[in-house]
Structure 1
Amino acid sequence: MSVPEGVVLRPAVAADAEAGADLHLACWREAYGPLVGREQLEARLHDRQRWVDAWHAQLADGPPRTVAESRDGDLVGFAVVGENRDGTKVSGRVAPYELYAVYTRERWWGSGLGQALLDAVLPDGATSLWVLEDNHRAQGFYARNGFVPDGAREHYAGLDCWEIRMVRP
């Protein structure tokens, strides 16, 4: 799928850490606000500096991130895939890759930007992801891209909710 007009996809760089953290926080509020308790969500998001520090660390040492930048210079989405982090924490075959994140700001939902980001980072090999069990919108997006639930489920304490694993062979 093509990138929506007025947006470019590019590799994230160290200078994106603060804007990336702000984007990440905004995306979590928009995506998870309707799905989890407000107090729980805000408790997880309240420390902006922790998110900025995490972005700095991940940009320095983590797998490459792809960001979507709007014509006015704002970051409006990002995606990242890396080695699977599941190890032996859950049962079942573990895919070699894991989609760590694909987020866009709510105003870009349905625009094709999420698809463009996914297409930009998705590897050829089997890939898994974790998605909130109640996030049917995201699950539908992943299903349209060949991901299926594999039966793994775990409690995500950070938001006090359940998530399921989906895998694309």
Structure 2
Amino acid sequence: MTLWRRASGADAGPLADLEQAANLVGLAHVFGDLPFPYDAVLTRWVLVLDDPEVVTEVVDGDQGLVAFAAYDHESLRHVAVHPGFWGQGIAREAVVRSGATRLWVLDDNHRARGLYESLGWVPTGVTQECPWEPHPTELEYRRG
């Protein structure tokens, strides 16, 4: 079992760093050559960490954060694992431990969608536009 700890305000930068590392590899086919919106992501993490309704948990590694999961009483809001640790079951563990019943995922994030579907999550048919350029489609999933 992975050792998770509750994130603090000091983790905002490392959370943004991990999100960037994971997205540049896992979502390059979606965002292409667009620059990663680091400042906006960092600002979002500061707000998430300050939100008393959101639990943010992280896994530490020798070179920085290995994984994170942010969730509230209903929604899995953010989850990522550093690409160097993919395939070890950490994301699966994060999704399960969150206890969430709802999430949004990029339509073209086939790796994540496969994980959620293997855990019994199903798309609801509801879509929205992602706030980050080029504004790809996000799909709502519910735990079945």
TM-score for the superposition, normalised by structure 1? 0.75
Match of 1:57 in 2: 47
Match of 1:151 in 2: 125
After superposition, where does 1:76-155 map in structure 2 within 5 Å?
A: 76-82=66-72, 97-123=74-100, 127-155=101-129
CA distance in 2, matches of 1:50, 1:132: 18
- More deviation in 72-81 or 54-63? 54-63
CA distance in 1, matches of 2:70, 2:131: 22
Post-superposition CA distance 1:91-150 (Å, at most 9, x none): xxxxxx111111101111111111122222224xxx111111122211110011110011
Match of 1:161 in 2: 136
CA distance in 2, matches of 1:139, 1:50: 25
CA distance in 2, matches of 1:59, 1:31: 24
Post-superposition CA distance 1:43-72 (Å, at most 9, x none): xx24x34333332222122511010112x2
Secondary structure at the residue paired with 1:34? helix
Higher relative contact order (CA 8 A, sep 6+): 1
Report if aligned partners of 1:9, 1:117 keep a CA contact under 8 Å in 2.
Answer: no
CA distance in 2, matches of 1:24, 1:75: 10
Report percent identity of matched pairs: 30
Structure 1 residues 14 and 155, CA gap change in structure 2 (3 angstroms): closer
Please tell me the root mean square deviation across aligned C-alpha atoms, in Å: 1.9
Report if aligned partners of 1:81, 1:100 keep a CA contact under 8 Å in 2.
Answer: yes
CA distance in 2, matches of 1:28, 1:100: 15
Q: Which amino acid aligns with 2:142?
A: V
CA distance in 1, matches of 2:138, 2:118: 19
After TM superposition, give the deviation of residue 13 of structure 1 in Å.
Answer: 1.1
Secondary structure at the residue paired with 2:4? strand
CA distance in 2, matches of 1:73, 1:134: 29
